[in-house]
Amino acid sequence: MKITILYVIQILLTGSTFVSYVPQVIKMLRTKQSDDISDSSWIMFSATAILYLIMLILEDSSWRVIAMQVLETFMCLSTLLLSLYYKHKSK
């Protein structure tokens, strides 16, 4: 497989986005609350992550890039679901 600058950028972009969700998830797990989280924003982030994953699959992208996007989508959906869970639990 030929590694191009675009490939490296895709890996870095997806990897850094994946890592950016970790602090939010950790904070919600520690505090057991999500009052300051905007669910509508996380719904949009999740939809974007899912659509990007679909696009990568349809474009027949590298399995490494797709795998990174699967992880990002998982983290994004985890954040959304934790937010919804803790808001529902606190009522």
> Is the pLDDT confidence value at 14 over 80?
no
List the Cα angle 65/68/71 in 5-degree steps: 150
**pLDDT number for residue 12:** 85
Closest C-alpha among 64, 61, 25 to residue 45: 25
pTM for the predicted model, two decimal places: 0.81
Q: Is the pLDDT of residue 25 over 70?
A: yes
Could you give the 3-state DSSP secondary structure of residue 33?
coil
Domains of the chain: 5-30+37-89 (1.20.1280)
The mean pLDDT of the chain is 89
